[in-house]
Amino acid sequence: MVNKQLRRFSSIALAVVTLGMGAAAQAQSSSTSSGMSSSNWAPAVGQRYIGLNGGSTDLRLGDNSTAYEIYAGGMWNKNFGLEVGLTDFGRINRPGNSVDASGFSIKAVGVVPLSESFSAFAKLGTMYTRTKVTSGSSALNDNGWGATYGLGLNFDFTRQFAAVLEWNQTNMDLAGVSDHINTTSLGLKYRF
């Protein structure tokens, strides 16, 4: 019960932080017209992107596994956008069982430029996950929607290409038990 309330509170807090980051970025962009310079490589209105991340998963009482995510998105303005993605969390071995998980996500994205080539972002959305918990010769499948959120940094090394460092947490059902999985990843984003 406490974990569930903590997750809900974390989701709400992240939404507030994301909105706050967007407001701060809007204030910064309005001050640009008064003489301050903004990033030449900042996301443009209507700009689209695709990305591929690879990294490590962390599930309570489990070994780390390798996760991969492919995603695509677009920006409504220079601070807010929408992203869809597919994630393979890999196979995570735990005492007495193993977990295979994957999912499809839809996320709102908030971006704040930090310098000419660095920006921070926050993501908040939902993910439809499919999980399989195998224990000995029996396997239990589960699926459903859960909250997903994350934070990260972009390093733009050209107008089109950026390196991405990202942390995400996704809530999911594992054979009828609610849990969350953390993912830390590094990737490459291409803007067009």
pTM of the model: 0.75
pLDDT band at 47 (very low <50, low <70, confident <90, very high): confident
Structural domain of 143: 2-191
Q: Judge whether residue 28 has pLDDT over 70.
A: no
CATH number at residue 161: 2.40.160.20
Q: What is the pLDDT of residue 42?
A: 55
- Coil, strand, or helix at residue 71? strand
Q: Judge whether residue 32 has pLDDT over 90.
A: no
Q: What is the pLDDT of residue 40?
A: 52
Map 140-182 to HEC letters. Answer: EEEEEEEEEEEEEEEEECCCCEEEEEEEEEEEEEECCEEEEEE
Residue percentage of the chain with pLDDT more than 90? 62
Domain count, the chain: 1
